[in-house]
Amino acid sequence: MTRITSVSLRRVLDSRGNPTVEADVLTESGGFGRAAAPSGASTGEYEAIELPPTEAIAAARRHAVPRLVNEVHAGNQREVDAALRAADGSENFSEIGANSAVAISMAAAKAGADVLGAPLYQHLGGAFRGDNFPTPLGNVIGGGEHAKEATNIQEFLAAPVGAPSVSEAVFANAKVHARASEILDERDVPAAKGDEGAWAPAVSDADAFEIMAEAVSDIEDELGFEIRFGLDIAASEMFEDGVYHYGDETKTTDEQIDYVAEMVDEYDLVYVEDPLDENDYEGFAELTERVGDRTLICGDDLFVTNVDRLSDGIDVGAANSILIKPNQIGTLTDAFDAVELASRNGMDAVISHRSGETEDTTIAHLAVATDAPFIKTGTVQGERTAKLNELIRIADDAV
Ligand SMILES: C=C(OP(=O)(O)O)C(=O)O
Ligand SMILES: [Mg+2]
């Protein structure tokens, strides 16, 4: 019933105005799935390869489509993804592009769910998923590679951990975002927005911590449940010549570890992503040893959703959490394998968008399917609210 009968690929716009790959998958019983690849700006060195969309589409039409159409079943995700890997033949999807691969992989999952008449999260996660929801990590203030002349730290993320429902959590983050804007106004600081819709003011990181703490505490008082915050430092982007660059200042690795540990305690941070360079497993391990009992130390560029890199990290205790971005690795199968390896080793898997996104909502379903404690998918702006609103719909049994 779910045998794939057609795969079409096209270029569509992403949220930065760049082209990206969209895939449509049809099955013999009329099941349909459509998905589009996101795209990073602060990409990890070890991510699967994103090809220019025109090249990725041409290569996928030549190599992957013939191995999919009439050959595999959309309902059998491992079969679909194995065909994509076989069609590509490289370790990192350098032939057909991880952008083509992930769009097809996700579109096939949706087509499989369509045939079964099940919501995507249930097709991916099983009959007993759908009662637990991730806490959305909402990007409120940011800079780094996502906005020029703003903070060095890439993302300051609201985390409404005490919200009674996912809907209240989503609205809480929007309120924190609005409150941060008022505080910036009160300080006479103009702020444009970065790629993900976070405020991108020209303030120091120290000021951003203060603004974030004030915004979170005001909204916590207003709503009456616990809201904390976290960071994506995206430290690989700051690391050059053996030191971390904060504007004109630098920090050695030891200073960076001390700084992050101090911020964890001063601001009771619930989450810290990529506090150190993507090659520094030891630094990650040292920081995790110091503060991992009270916060999540999450590897994004460190692990790139890759089970081999995650295994190396597990061996040395490099983090207690992994960020999962399907396009970093190329298929849903690979992303699920990373989630499973993490959870078998007591680590939390956090599902994430990219800075370049589309209206695609797959990651909302992925987060529910994997019982993720957190999802990082922005706060406002259509391509972000697409996922947040989908979480609300899933909770409302309206998908
Ligand atoms: C979402 C992120 O940004 P990008 O997509 O640019 O890697 C991130 O670093 O976690
Ligand atoms: Mg990151």
Report the C-alpha gap between 288 and 121 in whole angstroms: 31
Report the C-alpha gap between 212 and 331 in whole angstroms: 35
Q: What is the structure's pLDDT at 294?
A: 98
Burial 348-367 (b: 16+ CB within 10 A, else e): bbbbbbbbbbbebbbbbbbb
Ligand closest to 40 (CA) is: 1
Q: Which of 95, 196, 237, 357 is catalytic?
A: 196
Atom of ligand 1 nearest to the CA of 323: 10
pLDDT digits (tens, 9 = 90+) for 89-136: 999 999 999 999 999 999 999 999 999 999 999 999 999 999 999 999
C-beta separation of 45 from 278 below 8 A: yes
**What's the chain's average pLDDT?**
98
Report the C-alpha gap between 48 and 170 in whole angstroms: 31
pLDDT digits (tens, 9 = 90+) for 289-322: 999 999 999 999 999 999 999 999 999 999 999 9
Helix (H, G, I), strand (E, B) or coil at 324: strand
Atom of ligand 1 nearest to the CA of 356: 5
Q: What is the structure's pLDDT at 148?
A: 87
Is the pTM here over 0.80, yes or no? yes
pLDDT band at 1, cuts 50/70/90? confident
Report the C-alpha gap between 56 and 48 in whole angstroms: 13
State which amino acid sits at residue 147: A
Active site residue 214: no
CA of 326 to the centre of ligand 1 (A): 12
Residues 6 or more apart whose CB falls under 8 angstroms from that of 123 comprise 75, 109, 112, 113, 116
Residues 6 or more apart whose CB falls under 8 angstroms from that of 274 comprise 232, 233, 234, 235, 236, 298, 299, 300, 301, 302
Ligand closest to 197 (CA) is: 1
Atom of ligand 1 nearest to the CA of 234: 9
Q: What is the structure's pLDDT at 192?
A: 95
Domain annotation for the chain: domains and CATH numbers: 4-117 (3.30.390.10), 135-395 (3.20.20.120)
Q: What is the structure's pLDDT at 389?
A: 98
Active site residue 383: no
pLDDT digits (tens, 9 = 90+) for 254-267: 999 999 999 999 99
Report the C-alpha gap between 330 and 335 in whole angstroms: 8
Q: Which of 325, 357, 383, 390 is catalytic?
A: 325
CA of 272 to the centre of ligand 1 (A): 14
CA of 354 to the centre of ligand 1 (A): 5
Choose one of 102, 328, 352 to mutate for the ligand 1 pocket test, by most ligand atoms within 8 angstroms of C-beta. Answer: 352
Mean pLDDT, to the nearest integer, of 156-172? 98
Region of 58 on the Ramachandran plot (φ > 0 left; ψ -120 to 50 alpha; else beta): alpha
If you search the block for the tokens 């904390």, which residue do you land on?
A: 228
Residues 6 or more apart whose CB falls under 8 angstroms from that of 64 comprise 7, 83, 84, 87, 88, 96, 100, 101, 104
Flag whether 251 is marked binding.
no
Question: Cα separations (Å) of 356 from 18, 175, 270, 312, 384?
Answer: 8, 23, 25, 29, 10
Q: Where are the beta strands (DSSP E) in the chain?
A: 4-13, 19-27, 32-36, 135-142, 155-159, 191-193, 199-201, 228-232, 239-240, 243-246, 249-251, 271-273, 296-299, 321-324, 348-352, 374-376
pLDDT digits (tens, 9 = 90+) for 39-51: 999 999 999 999 9
Mean pLDDT, to the nearest integer, of 222-231? 98
Flag whether 352 is marked binding.
yes
What ranges in 89-204 are assigned the alpha helix state H?
98-116, 120-125, 166-186
CA of 391 to the centre of ligand 2 (A): 21
Cα-based torsion angle of the residue sequence 138, 113, 338, 45 in order, rounded to the nearest 10 degrees:
-70
Whether ligand 1 lies within 6 angstroms of the CB of 232 is answered as: yes
Whether ligand 1 lies within 6 angstroms of the CB of 60 is answered as: no
